[in-house]
Amino acid sequence: MAGSGTSDVKLLGAWASPYVVRARIALNLKEVQYEFLEEQFGTKSELLLKSNPIYKKIPVLIHDEKPVCESMIIVQYIDDVWINSGPALMPADAYDRALQRFWTVYVDDKFVPSLFGIMRSPTEEAKAEAKEQALASLQLLEEAFGKISKGKPFFGGDTIGYLDIALGSFLGWMKAFEEMNGFKLLDDTKTPLLCAWADNFCNNEVVGAVIPETAKLVELAKVMQARYKSAPPAN
């Protein structure tokens, strides 16, 4: 993507990874030109292993030959480095920043495991439990949105911000799981604020360019489910 204030910027990632989507959205919002280096599903390139020897995971942002790892650390780094380009991803107020970070940790620690538990659960009972946990998390996020957004379209206010990116990067997978299982995670009755937020988020041009297509995610999810079912049980 063409942009301003650029230098040598590369992003190691995979199209379907919501964590990679986080970094891509931040780069696009900040109008940073970068080279996207696609990692193949199930493999790890030499560059990835060299750039992230601790976790050996994507995404990795490489800026001026220096690697930055972990998706939300990358988002924060992008906001700090390209401070004069695009909208600020973090609010100016210290308490508001703390709230954004708190709920981002909640998304990663509570919501995401239950969301992907829907796909990974070995039984229908376990799947139902994961679904209920995901719905409970979304209900809390609905309440948080009402307070943090202050009546504006995004967690970040008038523009997409840090927490919007953290949660919004999973909307593609949420839609895929809804289609595969015949239920709604975001509901106009139970989570009306998040429903409106999700529409606003996905309708943003730079977001829509990197959120994966639902049909492709469904196809990938079926492949992943088959692998989970064929894997030997954990001891």
Average pLDDT over residues 194-200: 99
Per-residue confidence band for 233, with pLDDT thresholds at 50, 70 and 90: low
Q: What is the pLDDT of residue 194?
A: 99
Structure tokens at 116: 């992907």
Q: What is the pLDDT of residue 5?
A: 44
Q: What is the pLDDT of residue 225?
A: 87
What is the distance between the alpha carbons of residues 84 and 30, in angstroms, rounded to a whole number? 9
Q: What is the pLDDT of residue 222?
A: 94
Nearest CA among 165, 166, 167, 181 for reference residue 214:
181
What is the distance between the alpha carbons of residues 19 and 24, in angstroms, rounded to a whole number? 9
Q: What is the pLDDT of residue 231?
A: 63
What is the distance between the alpha carbons of residues 127 and 11, in angstroms, rounded to a whole number? 34
Axis-axis angle for helices 124-148, 192-202 (nearest 10): 80
CATH number at residue 29: 3.40.30.10
Residue 1 falls inside a structural domain: no
Q: Does 4 have pLDDT greater than 90?
A: no
Sheet holding 60-63, edge to edge: 35-38, 9-13, 60-63, 66-69
Number of domains in the chain: 2
Q: How far is CA 12 from CA 15, 73, 114, in A?
A: 10, 15, 26
Average pLDDT over residues 90-97: 97
What is the distance between the alpha carbons of residues 230 and 224, in angstroms, rounded to a whole number? 10
Provide the mean pLDDT of the chain: 94
What digits encode the pLDDT tens for the residues 137-183?
Answer: 999 999 999 999 999 999 999 999 999 999 999 999 999 999 999 99
Q: How far is CA 213 from CA 11, 46, 57, 175, in A?
A: 20, 28, 23, 9
Among candidate residues 42, 59, 81, the one where a domain is terminated: 81
CATH number at residue 165: 1.20.1050.10
Structure tokens at 124: 């229908």
Look up the pTM and report it: 0.94
The dihedrals phi and psi of 6, each to the nearest 5 degrees, come to -100, 160
What digits encode the pLDDT tens for the residues 106-122?
Answer: 999 999 999 999 999 98
Residue 169 β-bridge partners? none
Are 213 and 136 in a shared domain?
yes
Among candidate residues 54, 81, 108, the one where a domain is terminated: 81
What is the distance between the alpha carbons of residues 88 and 91, in angstroms, rounded to a whole number? 7
Residue 3 falls inside a structural domain: no
Are 130 and 194 in a shared domain?
yes
What digits encode the pLDDT tens for the residues 31-81?
Answer: 999 999 999 988 999 999 999 999 999 999 999 999 999 999 999 999 999
Structure tokens at 145: 């949105």
Q: Which domain holds residue 53?
A: 9-81
Per-residue confidence band for 1, with pLDDT thresholds at 50, 70 and 90: very low
